Structure formats: structure tokens, C-alpha cells
Structure 1
Amino acid sequence: MSYQVLARKWRPRSFREMVGQTHVLKALINALDSQRLHHAYLFTGTRGVGKTTIARIIAKCLNCETGISSTPCGTCSVCREIDEGRFVDLIEVDAASRTKVEDTRELLDNVQYSPTRGRFKVYLIDEVHMLSTSSFNALLKTLEEPPPHVKFLLATTDPQKLPVTVLSRCLQFSLKNMPPERVVEHLSHVLSAENVPFEDDALWLLGRAADGSMRDAMSLTDQAIAFGEGKVLAADVRAMLGTLDHGQVYGVLHALIEGDARALIEAVRHLAEQGPDWNGVLAEMLNVLHRVAIAQALPDAVDNGQGDRERVLQLAQALPAEDVQFYYQMGLIGRRDLPLAPEPRGGFEMVLLRMLAFRPAGADDAPRVTLKPLGISQATADSRTNPVAGTAMPAPVVSAPAPAAAPVAPAPAMPVAAEPAAVAPDTSVVPAVSEAAPVADVPVADAPVAVVDTPEAAASLPP
């Protein structure tokens, strides 16, 4: 007997065998049990989440010989023929290969005829968004008012490409991506039933690599079984997927935390020996930092999916929360700029060195480096230095120039103002001061200046 892949062998044949998608299953089960059946259903979602599987189960529920219900018997001739893909009243159409309007017209010419064996004639159109505009227009009228014995089940991965006229004629169900926890749970059940030895860490690697698709997870599991000679081990799965050992990622993070540039470059050198995808290395670092941030906010929420929960908790205690956020943001920016680097490894090293150079200075474990003098002149650094001569000015003149000039006596009582001709020739000593100009605006000369603040002092000046 030929081997049947796990994705086909373990395809659900009833609603109770479905994994996830409870928000869709609840609506369909209640509608079938209460006989509130719509004539057109639209299922959307990414690849491998159960769109076609749900459509086939609905066809089985509608045509089961025991009656319309959400629990088909699975043993009658109709249920067996649907499972085997040879039921005459279930017309499966691949819209990607039949995009022309002539194909749609040929399909709709047989809608008016009653079903041959079943209760309903079910049209399952997969990847319906691939139909042409003319095909959609030809389908609209029949899709809106089909004969009572016809049901339309549409499936697509790109609902944005469907005309609104089609969307308004269907009941829409959006299927969600499978979380890694649900994928790992299902893989554990399948491998236990298949008597295949496995490691939990390997299943978590497969669950994350599936990226929300249960079919991809089953296909990767088939590949892992073949790669591991009948076993699913973490080391084999990691080698098969080309993922990094998390120990090396933690080595980079520890060198970064300690502020050791030499250890940081050495860790990068060890990574380079494996020829990794440097963008993927940054992604792994961001995943670890994300889990560290979760551990700092809620330690109980950290999963042990990769067997490193204790390491994550230790990093959460060693790193300040602001450092975690800083490193995460720098990593995100580094992933964006990495394609612009002349060499991927050099770009990755620059991201790490940037993290090391701009880490928060207030951290307790930040490296203490004595800064070199920046060459700033004393005239700029010290406000008490004379900007012209480079000598220190007397403190009373500069520290409070305006308040000292406030109690100056009125100008008529001053001999300088009374006899301007006697003072005007000697402008190098005391410049002429008008009544409107304040004392603070008088420019400072290079030579020492005598401060005139009382009438007696003004009278003592030489003519």
C-alpha cells in the first residue's frame, strides 16, 4: 500500500475533529441543527487553516443519509464518497485554472438540474478570487438567487480581491491562524497515535516554523520523521530547518549585558561559522527580548516552549526594563537597515556595537569609561572668563551687572553729565553714557575700567 501523508491522513472528517476555529464552528453547528441554511458561504484565511476541510464537512452534513445535522454519520455511502472525493453532487472547482467566463457559464448551465444522488448540489469553488471580472459578473445572478437545491461554498486566501457585490451575497467566515500551542498539541496527538518518538522541543520548533498553518506543520512533521529516521528530535529539526541554537543567541545577549566588546565580537565569530541568516539571528534576539519583557511584567506567562524558561527569567532579573525596551527597538531598526549594509555580517555587528555604545548611561552595570577632553576652550567652558583677553574678570562686575546699576543716582547730580565736554575727549577711559542707555549695555574695554557708582567717586576723577 502506498504511503499517505499525514496532512491527508489526519484531515478532519467532522466538526468535532477540527482543531481551533471555534468561532466559525459554533455558527455553522447552530445553523445546521436549527435548519437555518444560507445558500452561499465564503471562507477566508491563510493557507492550511481548514477552509476546504470545513466546506467538505458542510457538504457531508447537508447530504448525509441520516438527515441534515451537524454530526454526519460518516459511514453511509454519501459520507464515504465525499471523504474519498468521488461524490457526484459535490462539484469542486479550482478557480485558478478556470478563470475564463466561458468556464463559469459552462458551470452554471447545470445549476438548474436537480442533484443526482444527494439532497443538495454543492459547488465548492476554491481560490475564488482568481476568477476574472466577467466570470464574477456571470456568477452574480445565480449566486444571489440560486435554485433551492443548490449551495455555494467559496474559499479564498485573498478576500480583498473579491467584488463587494459577491461579498454582499455570502455569509463570510474568517478563519484564524493556528497558534503554536494548538499546533504542538495536535502534533503530539498525531505522533503518539502514529507511534513516532518525539521531543517536545522539536514540536515547538515545528509549530513556530508552520507560521499558523496546520497543513504546513503536518508537512514539516513528515519531513522531520524522514530526516530523523523515524524520530522527531530537536537537534534534527533544528538542522533541518536551519534554525540557530538558542545557546549562541544567549551568548550574544550575555556579552551585550556585560558590556564586553571582545566577547561580543567573539560570539559573532562563532555564529559566522554556521553561515546563518543574520536577519534571522536578529529575529531570534528580538524573540528572546520579547519574552524577557513578558517575564518582567508577568513571570507566570512565560512558556517553556524552547526549554529556556529559566534563562529568560534570569535575563529578566539581570536586565533593567528600560534596557530591554532599548535593545528591542534598536534590533527592530537594525532589521530594517540590514539590507542596506555592504555586508550582512558587518551590518549585524554594527547593530550590536550600536546597542553597546548607546545603552542607557544610568544602568548600574553600564561600562564606566573615562571620556577624553573634547578640546573646548576655557572661554566657552567657564562663563567667568574674559572672552577677549582670556583673564578672569572681577566677580562683582559680571555676576550681577544689572542689579548693581539699579541704585545709580539721577544724572543731573553727576558732574560727568553736567560737563560732558570735560569727559568726552578721554573716551578710552570712560565712554559717554546717555540717560536713556542702561549701565548694563556699556561695552567692556580691554583696559581696567573704573566703576562710577556715586557722585563722590565721579568728582574724584581727573579732568
Structure 2
Amino acid sequence: MSDSFDLGSPPQPAASAKPETYRVLARKYRPQTFSALIGQDAMVTTLANAIRRGRLAHAFLLTGVRGVGKTSTARLIAKALNCIGPDGQGGPTIDPCGVCEPCRAIAEGRHIDVIEMDAASHTGIDDVREIIEASRYAAVSARFKIYIVDEVHMLSKAAFNGLLKTLEEPPAHVKFLFATTEVNKVPITVLSRCQRFDLRRIPAEKLADHFARVSEAEGVEAEAEALALIARAAEGSARDGLSILDQAIAHADLEGGGVRADAVREMLGLSDRGAVRDLLALLLEGNAPDALVALRRQYALGVDPQTVMRGLLEAVHGITLIKVGAAEDPAQPVEERAAYRDWAGAMSFPVLHRLWQLLLKGYEEVSGASLPIETAEMALLRVIHAASLPDPGELARRGPDTGASRPAAPATPAVPPTPTPPADRTPREFADALDTVEQAGQIALVARLRHAARLVRYAPPEIEFSNTRPLPADLLVELATALKDATGRVWKVAMVDAPGERSVREAELDAVQARHDAVAQSAAVLAALDAFPGAELIDPPAAKRSLS
């Protein structure tokens, strides 16, 4: 017996099994079937039809932002083309079985005939030359030899050129799958040899549903609002969202509870949406002291001033969408949607547009300021000051206030007042309608109508324009709203299939030209032109400015 054994020592327990290495959610829940690939229905339909009809391209280019499933889709295509089914007799299918040896080997990244290459670290012609040489040989065990090249835009110009001939006429057993986030950097000669699929950003509501299923599978309770916040922060990327969810679950474990919205806001440094609504209400009320206190409170909680400004911009944008009749965002909290509806009913389009411009300017200033919180405070004070100014359209409707200088009228015997019908404020002509809208402050709207609108019929409260020169739908809605505010009547503004009159701008130009021709033919001008050869008659600058 060897001297190395210690007979007096107690027997050692058997080595415990090595714990399984934790896999992050983005890897653990990577889609293994096309049905699990969310948000890319159009691409899946095209691939399914191509496989059923046997019209398989020899090269595919998958493009899109990070985390939408480009590499996962490439692996799914590799499985779909090489699946042999549970009985080993199957062919290419859009629904790979996942149990045959090719499917399992591809999913585990160990299939000898499915070669993945990262173009970010293999950029040269030598790397591509290896692919070209190896592609001449048939697949070892699979139906197709497949090359998956990630971030293909990182290849050098020489590498792209070396790949062109093989990419144009590859062997029948070879398929190329390229993935890139910057398709504009891929040469057009390569793009023309590939079947291109643009993977879309995944909608926030679909991401939130996906995160809810993942949370349930992980046995973690998560608030719907928390998942909605994560989905918005992901910006259409499933991988980014799952990484944030992974972090939120870890944060929840430390807190001893589920994934809560307030914890997610704190983790991401997001401004509380309720606090944003409260701040917006203070701005609209013109309450400067409380608005600055609310901003400082968010800053003390660790919220970046730029994030607060962005939240205010998102709120104004949401209110404007509600006002034009857009569908409500189901991911928004109920109280937020209710507040947006109330504000949309109380504020006019000019106020919303002015508020957006002021906040947007403030956001840009804060983003590049050396004193961001101070800059944000000044930006909010500017918003409050502008909100307290009288509306130009309202001043125009009121007219000059001369009550202070008017002498008191002599006393007259009291006469019982006789009711008088309210004055009809409906413009009788289309030109009068434009003047009414312009006096209400809608200068930009009137300018667009003067240049582009061709009137077919003006019969208050109905206006019809020719669709020979189509007008944007929002322009018609703004005109109807402005006329309703000015006249108190509901107006119907529509496009019809008729030629219509010349636009106001064209009519004005015709009038100017007619005056110009009449003056040019007058005896005095003709004599002047005869006395000064080479002279020409031009319109005065004031006339040009009036038509600009």
C-alpha cells in the first residue's frame, strides 16, 4: 500500500456535482423556432413560402438594429435547411423538429458543416480565402454547408472583392447567411447577390408580453408597468430588454420582492411618469416656484435633467396624438391616458406646437450644457413665461381696448333690454375664412392653404378642395378645428375628385402679372423704355414681400 494514503483520516465525502453555470436571459430564451421569433412575421412568411416551393436563395442578408434576432434567425435558417426530422427522412422545413442530430448540433453550436465567423475579428482577405477554399468541398454530414458571417460590414474592401465570385456562383451545397447592423457599409455588389431581409424593431407591447412570459417561466412576479418601462427602454431590441429584465430580477431579489415599476425607474434612472405629469401641470398653471421644486426633487432622486425634459416632450407628443384622434397607447397607465385626454381637450394646436418647440429647444440646450440642472430650470421658466403671454389670435379677436380713454356716456333713462340674436361669425367667402383663421394665430396653416389648396366648393360649414393637388389629412383637421374655434360651428373639410380653382397664391401672382403688363403698356413706361435702352420694368420690393 502506498505511503501516500493516510489510514487514520476519516473518509472524504464524494465530490458534489458542479453547479450549472448561470445563463443570462438573452441566451437562455434565444428563439429555437420561427414561431418563437417575435415581430418578424413578414420575413417568416417569405422564408416559409420559399422553402415550400424549393426557391431557396444561395445567400441571405439579415439587417436590423442590435438585438432584433439577426444571428438567431441565421441559425434558425441553418436548422430549417438541414433538418432531417425525428425519423431521419425529412427535408427542408420552416418548422425544424429540434430533436434530430443536425438540429441539436446547430443549436449547440457544434455542427461541423455550419461555420460561424465574426467579421469584426476576421476582416482580411486571408479569412475570406479560407472560406472560398473550404466551400469547394461537399458537406460532411449535413444537406447544406452553411457559412454565417456576423457583422459582415466589417470586412475589408479586399475581402469583399475576393468573395464576390464565389457569392455569385457558389457550389450547390453552400449557403451564405450574412448579418449586419450597418447595411449602408456593405458594397452594392454584395447586396445585389443576396436576398435581403430587414428585421424590424419589435413593438413595445410585444416586448412587454414576451417579458411577462419570461418572468413567469423564471418564477418572478413582475408588475405590468415595470415590464412596459423595460420594453420602452429596450427601444425595439429583445436582447437589450432581456438584459434589463435580468438586471431588474437581480435587483428585485436584493429588495426581497418582485419586479416593481418604481424599482425599475430607479435602476434605469428614469423619471417617474407621474412626476412628469405633475411637473407638466405646474408648467401649464404657470406655477414657477413649485415647478422648480418638482424638478429639483427629480434631480435629487438621481434623474438626469435631460431625461426630465425628454419625459415632458413625450407627454406633449402623446397629448398631440390624442388631439388629432390617434389610437391610445395600451402600454400607458390608465391615469396617464386620462390626463392626456383632458389636456388634449383643453389645449389648442397652436399651444401644443409652441410648447413642443420650447421644450425641444430646452432639451437641446440641456444636452450640451455644462450646468444641466440650471439650464433645465431656465428652460422651464421660459416655458412658464411663454405660457403666461396672451394668445395673439385671442388679442386679434378682442380688438383694441379703448375703454380707458373713452369718456363716460351721459346717463339715460333705463330701458328694458331687448334680446338680440347672436351675431353670425361665419365667413361668407373662402378668402374671409382664411383671414379669420390667420387672425386666430394660424399663420403657418393659412400660408400652406394659400399655396396648395384648390377650392372646389365653399358652402359654410362645408369646404371642398380638389384632390388634383392632395393636401395632408392633418392640414384639413387643423383648418376644421380653427374654423370651429372661430365660429362656434362644426365644419366639414374634405377632398373631392374635381379640378377646382387656382390657388390663392396663383391668383395673386396672376393679378400682379396683369398689373405689370398694364403698366408696361402705358405711354409713360413705353417712352421711358425708349429713352433708356436696356432698362426693364420690375415690381417694387413691397409687392414681392406681400406675396412671399
TM bin (shorter chain): 0.7 to 0.9
Counterpart position of 1:287:
314
Could you tell me which residue of structure 2 aligns to residue 315 of structure 1? 343
Shift of 1:298: 2.3
Q: Choose which of 285, 297, 301 in structure 2 pairs with 1:270.
A: 297
Which of 35, 51, 54 is equivalent to 1:35?
54
**Match of residue 361, structure 1, among 390, 396, 402:** 390
Q: Which amino acid aligns with 1:301?
A: E
Deviations 1:377-411 (A, max 9, x none): xxxxxxxxxxxxxxxxxxxxxxxxxxxxxxxxxxx
Task: Choose from 101, 105, 124 the match for 2:125.
Answer: 101
Q: Which residue of the other structure, out of 67, 72, 78, is the alignment partner of 1:48?
A: 67
Question: What SS is found at the alignment partner of 1:184?
Answer: helix
Of stretches 208-217 and 266-275 in structure 1, the one that deviates more from structure 2 is: 266-275
> What is the CA–CA distance in structure 1 between the aligned matches of 2:368 and 2:39, rounded to whole Å?
41
Between the aligned partners of 1:333 and 1:86, the Cα distance in structure 2 is: 54
* Aligned: 1:132 with 2:156: yes
In structure 1, what is the Cα distance between the partners aligned to 2:189 and 2:292?
Answer: 59
1:251 aligns with 2:270: no
Q: State whether residues 210 and 217 of structure 1, in contact with CA within 8 Å, keep that contact through their aligned partners in structure 2.
A: yes
Give how far 1:365 is off.
12
Provide, for residues 139-159 of structure 1, a one-character-per-residue CA deviation record: whole Å limited to 9, x for no partner.
111001010000000010001
Aligned equivalents of 1:290, 1:102: Cα separation in 2: 52
Which has the bigger relative contact order, CA under 8 A and spacing at least 6?
Answer: 1
Alignment counterpart, residue 233 of structure 1, candidates 246, 250, 260: 260
Whole-angstrom distance in 2 between the partners of 1:252 and 1:184: 27
What CA distance in whole angstroms lies between the structure 2 residues aligned with 1:259 and 1:365? 19
Q: How many equivalent pairs are there?
A: 366
**Which residue number corresponds to residue 122 of structure 1?**
146
Partner amino acid, structure 2, of 1:362: D
Aligned to 1:6: 25
Residues of 1 paired with 2:131 and 2:139: CA distance?
A: 14
**Aligned counterpart, 2:466:** none
Aligned position for 1:298: 325
Residue in 2 that maps onto 1:410: none
**Contact 2:328 2:337 survives alignment (8 Å):** no
Q: Show structure 2 runs of 5+ residues with no match.
A: 1-19, 85-89, 396-548
Find the counterpart in structure 2 of residue 173 from structure 1.
197
Call closer, same or farther: CA 1:120–1:29 in 2, change over 3 Å.
same
Asked whether the 8 Å contact 1:292–1:313 carries over to 2, the reply is yes
The answer for the alignment partner of 1:393 in structure 2 is: none
Residue identity opposite 1:183 in structure 2: L
**More deviation in 292-301 or 91-100?**
292-301
> Following TM superposition, by how much is the alpha carbon of 1:352 offset from its aligned partner in structure 2, in angstroms?
1.3
CA offsets 1:45-77 (integer angstroms, 9 cap, x no match): 011101111111111111111111211111111
Q: Is the 8 A contact 1:98 1:131 kept in 2?
A: yes
Task: Find the partner of 2:227 among 199, 203, 206.
Answer: 203
Looking at structure 1, the residues matched to 95 and 367 of structure 2 have their Cα atoms a distance apart, in angstroms, of: 53
8 A Cα contact 1:295 1:302, kept in partner: no
Q: CA deviation at 1:364?
A: 12
Q: Aligned pair in 2 of structure 1 residues 99, 14: CA closer, same or farther (>3 Å)? A: same
Change (3 A) 1:342 1:121: closer
> 1:345 aligned to 2:397?
no
Moved more, 62-71 or 138-147: 62-71
Alignment-mate amino acid for residue 20 of structure 1 = G
Q: Secondary structure of the equivalent of 2:31? A: coil
1:305-360: CA deviation from partner (whole Å, max 9, x where unpaired): 24522222233234333222211121112222224545212211221122122235
Residue pair 1:48, 1:214 contacting (<8 A) in 2 also: yes
Q: After superposing the two structures, state which structure 1 stretch, 202-211 or 191-200, moved more.
A: 191-200
Rounded to whole Å, the distance in 1 between the matches of 2:49 and 2:168 is 23
Quote how far apart the aligned CAs of 1:289 are: 1.0
Determine the C-alpha separation between the residues in 1 that align with 2:324 and 2:337.
Answer: 15
Match of 1:328?
Answer: 356
Aligned-partner residue type, residue 69 of structure 1: T
CA distance in 1, matches of 2:269, 2:296: 18
The corresponding residue for 1:74 is 98
| Aligned residue type for 2:347 | L
Contact 1:257 1:319 in 2 (8 A): no
How well do the aligned residues superpose, as a CA RMSD in angstroms?
2.0
Q: Is the CA contact (8 Å cut-off) linking 2:322 and 2:328 kept in structure 1?
A: yes
Which residue number corresponds to residue 398 of structure 1?
Answer: none
Q: Which residue does 2:501 correspond to in 1?
A: none
Q: In 2, distance between residues paired with 1:323 and 1:267?
A: 23
Whole-Å separation in 1 of the counterparts to 2:226 and 2:180: 31
TM-score (norm 1): 0.76
Is residue 224 from structure 1 mapped to residue 243 from structure 2 by the alignment?
no
Shift of 1:264: 2.2
The CA deviation at 1:231 is 2.0
Q: State, as a whole percentage, how many aligned pairs show the same letter.
A: 43
Instruction: Name the structure 1 match of 2:135.
Output: 111
Deviation at 1:279, TM superposition (A): 1.1
Q: CA offset at residue 9 of structure 1?
A: 1.6
Per-residue deviation, 1:101: 1.0
Letter in 1 for 2:376: F
Query: Per the alignment, do residues 302 and 165 of structure 1 end up closer, same or farther by CA in structure 2, a change over 3 Å counting?
Result: closer
User: Residues 269 and 304 of structure 2 are in contact (CA less than 8 Å); yes or no, is this contact kept in structure 1?
Assistant: no
Please tell me whether the aligned partners of residues 204 and 306 of structure 1 are also in contact (alpha carbons under 8 angstroms): no
- Superposed CA offset, 1:152-185 (max 9, x none): 0001000111111111111111111111111001
Name the CA distance, whole Å, in 2 between partners of 1:225 and 1:363.
Answer: 53
The answer to whether the Cα contact below 8 Å between 1:89 and 1:122 also exists between their aligned partners in 2 is yes
Q: Name the SS of the counterpart of 1:52 in structure 2.
A: helix
Q: TM-score, normalised by structure 2?
A: 0.64
8 Å contact 2:322–2:344 — kept in the other structure?
A: yes
